[in-house]
Structure 1
Amino acid sequence: MQGQPAYRILDLASEVGEIAKDAVESGEYGATPEQLEVNTDEVGDVLFSLLALAESLDIDAGVALDEALDKYQRRLEETGTASSSNREGGR
């Protein structure tokens, strides 16, 4: 899984774009959000790309996830929401 981080970021953005495309098209561009569908293999592609990015940056993905979960837990305890946004409903 060798690769430059800049290329890994582009790959990740591309894969997230695939999920967004699936979601937008399946929900008829927002007209029927209850029909939103995302292909499982596309989620797998995003996960693979994210793990490859972490590896290329020498970041332990497990440690990064634990830190993020701790951060969200603190937010929940302090504000009642995991969102980093101050707006109601979050981002």
Structure 2
Amino acid sequence: MDEQDRVSAFLDEHNLHAPPAHRVLDLVSETGELAKDVNVATDYGENPGEATVQEDELGDALFCLLALADELDIDATGALDTALSKYDDRIEETDDAGSKD
């Protein structure tokens, strides 16, 4: 069972389904907690080499992202494959993975 299937089963088992808009808000909240970890660990950017995040906070953000994919009926592995292909194309064309937007 892959990670998205595990999250989907957990949502089903505990009746935790929610609208996608709520899942996005949860995701933003959890990534904010990751940013807070980095801010504190780096003394608010003074020591960028000291950046760390707590494993459970990273897990919370991953859970929220996979729950969002589940609620939208999007295969997370397929979405990742699409993104990696897009980045490969950009690197091949411009030597940079960024979108330039």
Residue 35 of structure 1 deviates from its aligned partner by: 1.2
Higher relative contact order (CA 8 A, sep 6+): 2
Question: Which of 4, 9, 16 pairs up with 2:31?
Answer: 16
Letter aligned with residue 67 of structure 2: A
Q: What secondary structure does 1:81 align onto?
A: coil
Alignment-derived partner of residue 47 in structure 1: 62
Structure 2: which 5+ runs fail to align? 1-10, 12-16
Letter aligned with residue 45 of structure 2: G
Q: What secondary structure does 2:63 align onto?
A: helix
> What is the CA–CA distance in structure 2 between the aligned matches of 1:37 and 1:55, rounded to whole Å?
28
> What is the CA–CA distance in structure 1 between the aligned matches of 2:94 and 2:40, rounded to whole Å?
34
Task: Give me the CA root mean square deviation.
Answer: 1.0
Letter aligned with residue 76 of structure 2: A
Alignment of 1:8-87 (within 5 A): 8-85=23-100
Structure 1: which 5+ runs fail to align? 87-91
Q: Runs of 4+ in structure 1 displaced over 2 angstroms?
A: none
Deviations 1:47-76 (A, max 9, x none): 110000011111111111110010000001
> What is the CA–CA distance in structure 2 between the aligned matches of 1:25 and 1:85, rounded to whole Å?
30
Letter aligned with residue 51 of structure 1: L
For normalisation by structure 2, the TM-score amounts to 0.81
Deviations 1:28-58 (A, max 9, x none): 0111111111111111111110000011111
Q: What percentage of residue pairs aligned between the two structures are identical? A: 53
Letter aligned with residue 12 of structure 1: L
Structure (1/2) with the larger helix percentage: 2
